[in-house]
Structure 1
């Protein structure tokens, strides 16, 4: 899938702006675990640069700073973010989306993610938290766009089964490429399409340098 650097940069800068305004660059909105600023900005830029239209996030922590970043990317691409989680975690932070005109970019779905995910087909961009106990089941059932999709697995070092998404889908899809990046508590990227490990690493380094500067 073609890469659109201008869309990536706009989402990246918008995410930085929201982080500064709401002082959310260092923490999850739904918990106390720290999250690196460059991590959420990179993911936002990656989703926007790929012009992902249907995005999905599954996390046991409810709305997080990463949710905001994905909504920013959805606004840039004219897409939709599906946030799947528990109602109690999500309802507390929904007002933040309204304040930033992001409410039309996100749809909150409550229920068992393993069941809810089956409603969505040809997902362009997905973010799955390995702290979600049944993440391996999600790996096996999620329906990604076979020609142009990206799976981001965060908190990768928390996985207990030792299996990556790439290992689950390799052989079932064409052009599966994956790489683990040393940000957050481990982030594993799997690309179904033409993106190579070298290209993913190059994008990460470019945005990392931008943030540091």
Structure 2
């Protein structure tokens, strides 16, 4: 089984996030991550947050989790961050997620089956957090916000060094100039489909012959 895209759910989450964020705080980032998380029917959404961070992304993820019935977890470094985060969520009238205190790298060891994750490129440890995350066998979508602050968008080779290992495979990656830059990677599912090939039929219009190719 793998992640399957639902345009209808993505659209609903996008619109609901716009309604929830009356003041646009992140130039479309909240709406976009909400649409992606909901559209991919994420069952476990994880984000990292620290004091002074913008809350709009969390609002979007909360909306997405409501649409999918999934679990929304926010990892914060300390009690002060937890208190500030929950106050901000309350002020935004959003559903508070499950908040876990601890260093993100260590917390990732306790969370299994992550299929949507958002980290902040301004944190020096964001690459390590991504590489230690226990991703879902269905595949996963990884998002780095504030990516422009670390230079140009991440190249596919850089993403591969972060996410690939064992049976993991990078399906595609993209850099979007939304907000302060979003780096996005789609990681393939594992298990049954690995190593399988398929037959593709093609008709040669000139000769009329059927050509069968195995990929």
C-alpha separation in 2, matches of 1:116 and 1:17 = 32
TM-score normalised to structure 2 length:
0.74
Distance change (3 Å), C-alpha of 1:174 and 1:110: same
Report the counterpart of residue 153 of structure 1 in structure 2.
144
TM-score normalised to structure 1 length:
0.75
The CA RMSD measured in Å over matched residues stands at 2.3
Report the counterpart of residue 94 of structure 1 in structure 2.
86
Unaligned runs of 5+ in 1: 27-34, 195-213
C-alpha separation in 2, matches of 1:93 and 1:132 = 17
* Stretches of 4+ aligned residues off by more than 6 angstroms: none
C-alpha separation in 2, matches of 1:60 and 1:130 = 12
Length, aligned pairs only: 179
Q: Which protein has the larger Cα radius of gyration, Structure 1 or Structure 2?
A: 2
1:191 to 154, 162, 186: 186
Structure having the higher helix fraction is 1
C-alpha separation in 2, matches of 1:92 and 1:59 = 10
Structure having the higher strand fraction is 2
Map 1:1-213; keep pairs closer than 5 Å.
Answer: 1-20=3-22, 23=23, 25-26=24-25, 35-36=26-27, 38-61=28-51, 62=53, 64-85=55-76, 86-95=78-87, 97=89, 100=93, 102-103=95-96, 106-159=97-150, 164-170=158-164, 172=166, 173-193=168-188
Distance change (3 Å), C-alpha of 1:83 and 1:63: farther
Instruction: Assess if the C-alpha contact under 8 Å between 1:166 and 1:176 holds in 2.
Output: no
Give the superposition deviation at 1:140.
Answer: 2.1
C-alpha separation in 2, matches of 1:56 and 1:83 = 6
C-alpha separation in 2, matches of 1:18 and 1:96 = 13
Instruction: Assess if the C-alpha contact under 8 Å between 1:128 and 1:135 holds in 2.
Output: yes
Give the superposition deviation at 1:95.
Answer: 4.7
Distance change (3 Å), C-alpha of 1:7 and 1:45: same
C-alpha separation in 1, matches of 2:4 and 2:68 = 14
Q: Determine helix, strand or coil for the equivalent of 1:81.
A: strand
